[in-house]
Structure 1
């Protein structure tokens, strides 16, 4: 996902291999998209998986592939994962549900997701996936947040000097500071577009769509051919075990087959008792079922998106590319038997073979990461991200942060210092120091009373500015309430990106307490 180290998790981290099932072959009749048809012997084909009989009515899926082989989807197709700065058709968001967010953080988490929807609408369409029973509430919150953000812009534009009012607005709303430098205009007032925000009923509970949603890629031989990879979300290797929904229904191993979210798993494979256990694992598929209706150019039932179900299980937060062949990742979050119990997917060679075929990467730079340090096993998108080919920003832990975080930082810095990218260039590294953990989640320097404080536990929250998100013509950067570092992050990024690209900063307090920031709750559609 991102940077969850030492954070307040809404999950009980366990070594148990509770996980969501690998998606089985699907029927194409009645669907608005179709999966790619691969040869049965192809390592990416679900036909290469052999069902095993079980003492129960469940089906356990394993793979017979024991040695890696070069992967080629077809002679006429080369998959390619563009950089995040490439044009987007839209951004996916997930409206937080009581099934996945603690009660004390739920309202503010919803506010922050809707703030992001409003801010991103300035640049591109936004698709908010929401449980059907929550849709009317989501629409109401969106309208409220839109009006609040508009009021903030009007107050800023009118040079309102009421400090308390400004502080309160910054405290619980968008900290939408307009960048003032030689490349920005004094009349750079955000123009939000509610008509660009659409709601899509979908049984989903996680807001972490970076990890649950499909990863969109292109076909180099046919750029109009859009493909989406379903990496079979498995609750980060089965770590989501704690009951956190309002009905107090037990999850996973504590349930007796009636839970809707998490099937059990073992080192032999993933078991799916029935379809009710697939809510999060099926999210990527359900997103793609909407693609046909959403594509204005689709005619005569023309297929616009094709789906690949990958036997390699990972999350979008584990992927970082420059669009020119370079791939950055942590070993701990990808080379992981909890996600991939099959013996054929536990070696670096086998995993790299899949990554090269699915993402079109040619140079893979691995960082060690840390297994078990957070629920994601140290996703790369909380540590380092590309600004452009040859240029990355790296998270520098705050001095108050723990020893493990500093060790990770030093390891990544050392590796980047000696590596070159896929084109043979040295990689320039610019550091962004993380926010003061004592301020993250409290309202920070902006709090001047008048608002109910979020509960803050002793653990540190995620305060990495590296977890930003590129949109069409813009960059969405988190703000945590550490005024000095919030401002420094924007100033640093302003000096690195194109002058034409606008920076918008969004204040978050609940998301960091659950370990996520902006990148973790967004996913681009291309």
Structure 2
């Protein structure tokens, strides 16, 4: 399934644990640290669903890519792979011996969206913020993926703190210093938070992440499965600074190009210092649905794991830009084209647990 072409017969299957109506907010004091803060470990999910990935050959390609990402990250920090126990024997053949496999059933690989969002307080206590995953607005099966956050919290013995939100962590970006950015299309949307106005969603996001400031841009409704997640376009790299992908030659008829330019302008107007990484001019995959997002990288302990798309010039610009924003970390680039064909990337496939 292409994430920019999400029509599928089974899209509405799955569960949703609450309706999105107003609920009591948890006690304050917890916040979600910046991704570049020290990690205890990285969580990932093993894709297995033949409803989501009906082509067995392509599914094997996706699994090999997830294994490569996990093995790469494991050289920098511990990795936990989540999967049903019936798959462990096969998975272990593809993973480094350093990677631990937990019996948490999954359907798909997008741990940034379905996985736990970890928060910490000033006493070093951890909690999991419950942003309820519902298959990007019931577009994809999620009977198992909708339960991953609470199952991981239970295994770790951590409190699960409700946020009153339905959505995905890939739809909001945090700097760990009080600022968030997001596209309205991923949150102010009846497929996730019916009946909630933007102000209420903003208040709940700020409470969930322990933040004080929100930078919104409109995004794109209904053109891809995520309703245009921010983490495939723009990222914080520190307080008041970030990076963004932009096309060198914007297409006025492409809603993603127009939304990207709008997001850039709003971030700059909000006082952000944004470095631009151009989208690749040439790439190995020519499909129009392919997402070539340099911004969809993952920061781990001592490393930055990023994609390369086959354009020598822009691949180098991206690596050099990331190295300048994350000094002292090794930038490792991988060919993750199969994830781009699905509309995602490395950041979408990972979720960090901060060190307490």
TM-score of the two chains, using structure 2 as the length reference: 0.91
1:493 aligns with 2:322: yes
Residues 5-58 of structure 1: CA deviation (Å, up to 9, x unaligned): xx56574169x993643327xxxxxxxxxxxxxxxxxxxxxxxxxxxxxxxxxx
- Counterpart of 1:289 (choices 154, 160, 166) is 154
Q: Which residue of 1 aligns with 2:264?
A: 413
Unaligned runs of 5+ in 2: none
1:324 aligns with 2:324: no
Counterparts of 2:131 and 2:84, CA distance in 1: 22
Query: Residue 435 of structure 1: CA displacement?
Result: 2.4
Counterparts of 1:113 and 1:363, CA distance in 2: 34
Query: Residue 226 of structure 1: CA displacement?
Result: 0.5
Counterparts of 1:94 and 1:10, CA distance in 2: 22
| Structure 1 residues 21 and 309: alpha-carbon distance in aligned structure 2, compared to 1, 3 A threshold | farther
Residue pairs, 1:49-60, within 5 angstroms: none
Query: Residue 72 of structure 1: CA displacement?
Result: 5.9
Deviates more, 1:462-471 or 1:308-317: 308-317
Counterparts of 1:204 and 1:62, CA distance in 2: 23
Question: Do the aligned partners of 2:306 and 2:346 also contact (CA within 8 Å) in 1?
Answer: yes
Deviates more, 1:98-107 or 1:228-237: 98-107
Query: Residue 400 of structure 1: CA displacement?
Result: 7.8
Residues 239-261 of structure 1: CA deviation (Å, up to 9, x unaligned): 12xxxxxxxxxxxxxxxxxxxx4
TM-score of the two chains, using structure 1 as the length reference: 0.63
**3-state DSSP of counterpart to 1:504:** strand
Counterparts of 1:286 and 1:398, CA distance in 2: 44
**3-state DSSP of counterpart to 1:231:** strand
Counterparts of 1:480 and 1:287, CA distance in 2: 33
**3-state DSSP of counterpart to 2:95:** helix
**3-state DSSP of counterpart to 1:310:** strand
**Number of residue pairs the alignment of both structures matches:** 351
Query: Residue 429 of structure 1: CA displacement?
Result: 0.6
- Counterpart of 2:46 (choices 73, 95, 115) is 95
**3-state DSSP of counterpart to 2:255:** helix
Query: Residue 340 of structure 1: CA displacement?
Result: 1.8
Residue pairs, 1:116-135, within 5 angstroms: 116-135=69-88
Residues 465-505 of structure 1: CA deviation (Å, up to 9, x unaligned): 0001110111111112222221221022222222x211111
Residue pairs, 1:346-357, within 5 angstroms: 346-357=196-207
1:439 aligns with 2:283: yes
| Structure 1 residues 73 and 129: alpha-carbon distance in aligned structure 2, compared to 1, 3 A threshold | closer
Larger radius of gyration between Structure 1 and Structure 2? 1
Residue pairs, 1:39-438, within 5 angstroms: 61=19, 63=21, 65=22, 73-74=26-27, 77-99=28-50, 100-103=52-55, 104-142=57-95, 194-195=97-98, 197-220=99-122, 222=123, 224-240=124-140, 261=141, 278-292=143-157, 305-341=158-194, 343=195, 346-397=196-247, 399=249, 403-419=254-270, 426-436=271-281
Query: Residue 102 of structure 1: CA displacement?
Result: 3.8
| Structure 1 residues 370 and 306: alpha-carbon distance in aligned structure 2, compared to 1, 3 A threshold | same
Question: Do the aligned partners of 2:246 and 2:277 also contact (CA within 8 Å) in 1?
Answer: yes
Counterparts of 1:313 and 1:105, CA distance in 2: 30
Q: What's the RMSD between the two structures over aligned residues?
A: 2.4
Question: Do the aligned partners of 2:5 and 2:224 also contact (CA within 8 Å) in 1?
Answer: no
Q: Which residue of 2 aligns with 1:506?
A: 334
Counterparts of 1:234 and 1:467, CA distance in 2: 22
Question: Do the aligned partners of 1:440 and 1:461 also contact (CA within 8 Å) in 2?
Answer: no
